[in-house]
Amino acid sequence: MNESQFVEAALSNPLNRAILERLDALNAPDSWLVSGALFQTVWNRLTQRPPEYGIKDYDIFYFDRDTSWDAEDAVIKRADALFADLGAPIEVRNQGRVHLWYEEKFQVPYPPLMRATDGIDRFLCDCAMVGIRPTGAGYDVYAPRGFADIESLTLRPNRLPNYHPDRYLEKARRWKELWPEIIVLPA
């Protein structure tokens, strides 16, 4: 699978297409539609399921140096209004402030990030490390590990310092119930 095939498959989900069409209107710097909304849509296409099947939520990452809760909350409220008619759970998070709450929630330190794609780099498995954002001429795609694991329906742990084997296995179990075809590599 190459980048254009990945984008075509990801856009087969009408919710992904609508979110990306409106993403610039969110007025959140360095914003991307990321992870499950993308790779799970591709899995659905590969396994001949409806495009929205099994997708828990649609994650938007952005990066703002203003790490106040008020600033992030303002973006979340704009997103709620902008995407309300889609009827899908959309989660918006400022990657500039993840380090402020992550350790308390997951008991593992998390370094400050410098851009939204740094958050994509920290997903628990390689197939989740994808993002798309609109450009004037089409789309930017961020996929530091490529598309091979997405195409082969393979879960491979991303063993960065914030890696959680238990969380990896928890996600793997949930996804295996929804997509029994996936291959889960050991934690």
Q: What percent of the chain has pLDDT over 90?
A: 90
**So what's the pLDDT on residue 163?**
82
Q: Flag whether pLDDT at 161 surpasses 80.
A: no
- Give tens-digit pLDDT for 39-77: 999 999 999 999 999 999 999 999 999 999 999 999 999
Q: What are phi and psi of 132, to 5 degrees?
A: -135, 140
Banded pLDDT at 123 (limits 50, 70, 90): very high
State the residue for tokens 């809760």. Answer: 69
Q: What was the pLDDT predicted at 85? A: 98
Stretch 68-89: mean pLDDT, rounded? 98
Kindly state the average pLDDT of the residues 155-160. 92
Per-residue confidence (pLDDT) for residue 136, from 0 to 100: 85
What pLDDT is recorded for position 151? 98
Q: Per-residue confidence at 159, pLDDT binned at 50, 70, 90?
A: confident
pLDDT, residue 109, reads 84
